[in-house]
Structure 1
Amino acid sequence: MDPMPAKRPASPFTPLDFQLVLLRRMADHNPGLVEDARHELGVSIADMREANRRWQAMLHAPRSRAAVSRYRSILGAPESVTPRQIGDLSCEALLWPVPLWPDLRFEVLVAPNGVAWNEWLVRAPGAPSPRLETLDDLTPWSCTVDEVARAFAPARPLEGTAPTRWGLAFTAPDASGVRQECAAEFTWGLLQRVGVKGQQP
């Protein structure tokens, strides 16, 4: 009887694969931008689906590694590790570059017990933030959660529709200067779309 063929070891999950995971979650809102990014990366739709499948398998494996360990294994050593104080919580901010968005970094906030409690895209240190003054400035992929919250304070967090999604409610002027009540949706911390609820009296 012929021996069973040896099982091929799975190829490493790479930084490119991780970018495909980010894009897969954004495809629901901005399929055109995702398609352009996919062509820029030189990958197929099947490649993106496979990367997402493997990512989900890693997340739900019985012996899934901790988030920080997982990101280090995929993305390598972080570009920077910075102490961060958020309210009463002391934590560390770990940043990794994301080649698809050179002005952004993937940030993981890690509590003292080693648990990652936030994972999203932020503006890279030293990179200029976009000028956000009216609704016309809020274009998909142009800004992050923090940037919108600062530009149109006070903003109120909204519950996201999935673990990687966030929302903000705020008011902002339209092109004619009329203030509008808005709700913005973000995926992995990056703006996807803005809905206008009505005019501010």
Structure 2
Amino acid sequence: MGFGVRQFELTLMHRMRDLNAERVEDALGDMGASRAEVRAAHARWTRRAWSARAPKGRAALRTALGPPAYEGTRPIGSVTCRVARWALPSWPGLEFELLSGPGGEVWNQWFVRPGGDRALAFDDLVPWRCVVGDVGTSFPGASQREGAAPHHWAVDFVHEGTDYRALFVYGLFQRLDRLARPPY
């Protein structure tokens, strides 16, 4: 059995389960996928990542997902990076982006909105429908931070005087937590 789009989506969902298990279970039901299939896809992707002979980085994604929907370059400071993005059926309107450095090393991989970040209302913060850039654009003063596990990310922001932390996996919104303000 090959490793394709379905298996890659299941691999992403394996990590997303950390923050939004209920949404992942719903998606697995919609796909007709079992937890065993998720574990098998994740194990196979991990073995490939550590195999000396398996393709790495962009080549690994191209092998699994086919040609990217978009390829280009992006300047970041004084460096020009390569960008490749793939559309995935479980996340319509978003694309999985791989950003690589001049030597081909992977710098980042996460979901983005291909037309650029979109301004959202607070009620538009729906799991699996927005990305890190959307939240940063929508709430002035928002600050990004690394998450608690690999491929996790967080954005802290204030809305109507309340502190929130939006949690992401692979740049895809998973959950919103209300933060308690420390007593002064």
Instruction: Please list the CA deviations of residues 80-117 of structure 1 after superposition, one character each: whole Å capped at 9, or x if unmatched.
Output: 11221223331121011101112111100111111110
Larger radius of gyration: 1
Task: Provide the alpha-carbon RMSD of the alignment.
Answer: 2.2
- One of 118, 121, 141 as aligned partner of 2:111: 121
State the Cα distance separating 1:64 from its structure 2 match.
4.7
Which has the larger share of helix?
Answer: 2
- Give the Cα–Cα distance (whole angstroms) in 2 for the partners of residues 86 and 181 of structure 1: 30
The answer to whether residue 1 in structure 2 is matched with residue 19 in structure 1 is: no
Secondary structure at 2:179's aligned position in 1? strand
Q: Which of 170, 178, 181 is residue 196 of structure 1 equivalent to? A: 178
Gapped runs of 5+ residues in structure 2?
Answer: none
Q: Is the 8 A contact 1:66 1:115 kept in 2?
A: no
Q: Secondary structure, in 3 states, of the residue corresponding to 1:117?
A: strand
Equivalent pairs: percent with the same residue? Answer: 37
Shift in Å at residue 154 of structure 1? 2.5
Query: Deviation per CA, 1:32-63, whole angstroms, max 9, x where unpaired?
Result: 21122112222211111100111111122244
SS of alignment partner, residue 101 of structure 1? coil
Which residue number corresponds to residue 30 of structure 2? Answer: 40
Q: 2:126 aligns with which of 134, 139, 149?
A: 139
Give TM-score, length-normalised by structure 1. 0.82
Asked if 1 retains the 8 angstrom alpha-carbon contact of 2:162 and 2:178, the reply is yes
Aligned partners of 2:69 and 2:87 also within 8 Å: yes
Query: Contact (CA 8 Å) 1:164, 1:188: kept in 2 or not?
Result: yes
Structure 1 contact 91–111 (Cα < 8 Å) conserved: yes
In the TM superposition, what are the counterparts of 1:91-106 in structure 2 within 5 Å? 91-106=81-96
Give 4+ residue runs of structure 1 displaced > 4 Å after superposition.
none
Q: CA deviation at 1:152?
A: 1.1
| Partner amino acid, structure 2, of 1:193 | R
Work out whether 1:70 is the aligned partner of 2:60.
Answer: yes
Letter in 2 for 1:25: R
Q: 1:169 aligns with which of 126, 134, 156?
A: 156
TM-score (norm 2): 0.89
Q: Which residue does the alignment assign to 1:156?
A: 143
Corresponding residue for residue 167 of structure 2: 185
Aligned length: 183
With 36-45 and 66-75 compared, the bigger mean Cα shift is at: 36-45
Query: Is the partner of 1:13 in helix, strand or coil?
Result: coil
